[in-house]
A = this chain, B = another copy of it.
Amino acid sequence: MQTPTAAATAPIDMPEIAEALARMERCLRAVGCERVPLDDAAGRVCAEALPARLDAPPFAVAAMDGYALRWADADALLARSGVTRAGDPIGPPLAPGTCRRIFTGAPVPPGADTVVVQELTETVGERLRILPGAEPHRHIRAAGSNFGTGTPVTRPGTRLSARDIGLAAAAGHAEIRVHRRPRVAVLSTGSELSRAFADGQAGQILNANRPALKALVRSWGGVPLDLGIAADDGAALSVALSRARATAGIDLLVTSGGASVGDFDLLSPVLAELGFEPAFRKVRMRPGKATLFGRLGQLPVLGLPGNAVAALVSALLFLGPAMSRLAGAGWAEPSPERAVLATPLPATGPRTTFLRGRLGRVGRGVPTFSVLADQDNAMLSGLALADALVLRPADAPPAAPGEPVAVLRFDLSPGF
């Protein structure tokens, strides 16, 4: 992609990425909620602070195998009075001067205030001696010390992890209110695109963007709706967009193609005719300049470039946060991390620039970044091999191996 000339860009509002993201954020709201079984809730976005329905543990329990006793008796020889195992009832109070064999998770008998591990005890005839090294009040988990009845155990707006699911189950819940999955419609534009491979037919160009974007929507917690391919033709595009606007239950429309400034890039004018309210029509980034966002009536529309690499880079930057916001998980922009260059980088042009590359590891230090030789935006094969993008500011000078850089790691955007 060539850097824009003043003549080509002057009349077009082309915000920086941060500004474009801020405009987008203001246009999107979280979708509604539903109750789901806890078994189906992993990865869903929590919509309620579930209060614990019980104390955990429900009573003081031993945190180790050993003997329960009153610390005041620790210098005496203690009479043994029974055994308590995990799952046993609390049982009778501990009489002064006695101890009770106890196992991890078992209720501590009333009166006992300390558990001493077996290794710090010694048997003397029928009795037990506590050895030096034992400490008062050890190895007892107080009732409610994990959580007490009423304590909130889930946090609205967070994606439910296995840890959250375990905690909600331990707190007495079998269901949870979550945001429903955002429904994201995907429309490709481009007369050159064939719908499916046809054996023996010459000159086919197959659409990478629609399948890739549907996969992203699914991996990022949404439900994709496939609106197919619209021809690069005003009427066809207008029909496809109007149909999307009229379809109930679409939370976001994502298009690819038709959004740059060529004579046959019709998306922007057709949207304008339909009353589109743009938040931005370009972004000062490379690749991905031809990214637009706004509202068509109530329908948020994200227009991605037609170019497969540009479409996916732009999806990482814009579709990700949009879906996170729609899903109720708040606004989550991809977060650059630090890496050290293993290969030189060229100077950048007047836009924030992303170059594909691979991360390496030297021990447990900061990862290294090696840029891939071919940065052609049509080379999806190269993007598929990459595992990170280096983020370079506009007008940056060349950079040498060893210099620190900011990278977007694909492993932090699972499914990308």
Give A contacts to B, CB under 8 Å. Answer: 1-2, 5, 7-8, 38-39, 41-43, 53-54, 56-59, 63-65, 85-87, 89-90, 103-107, 117, 119, 141, 145-147, 151, 153, 160-174, 190-193, 196-197, 199, 202-216, 218-219, 231-232, 260, 262-264, 306, 308, 312, 315, 335-338, 361, 364-366, 376, 378-381, 383-384, 406, 410-412, 414-416
Residues of chain B within 8 A (CB-CB) of A213 are 162
B264 x A380 contact (CB < 8 A): no
A50 to chain B, nearest CB (A): 12
A196 x B174 contact (CB < 8 A): yes
List the B residue with the shortest CB-CB distance to A383: B163
Knowing A42-B215, A85-B191, A191-B85 are in contact, say whether A63-B378 is a contact too (CB < 8 A): yes
Residues of chain B within 8 A (CB-CB) of A202 are 58
B203 x A90 contact (CB < 8 A): yes
A412 x B411 contact (CB < 8 A): yes
The winner among A104, A166, A192, A209 for most chain B CB atoms within 10 A is A166
List the B residue with the shortest CB-CB distance to A380: B167
For A38, give its contact among B161, B211, B336 (CB under 8 Å): B211
Knowing A203-B59, A416-B161 are in contact, say whether A384-B211 is a contact too (CB < 8 A): no
B197 x A174 contact (CB < 8 A): yes
Residues of chain B within 8 A (CB-CB) of A39 are 211, 214-215
A212 x B163 contact (CB < 8 A): yes
B170 x A64 contact (CB < 8 A): no
A53 x B197 contact (CB < 8 A): yes
Knowing A204-B54, A306-B105 are in contact, say whether A264-B86 is a contact too (CB < 8 A): yes
Distance A381 CA – B231 CA, assembled complex (angstroms): 54
| 9 extra A-B contacts, CB within 8 A, seeds A87-B231, A105-B205, A162-B219 | A2-B64, A41-B215, A90-B203, A103-B262, A105-B192, A145-B378, A161-B215, A161-B415, A412-B412
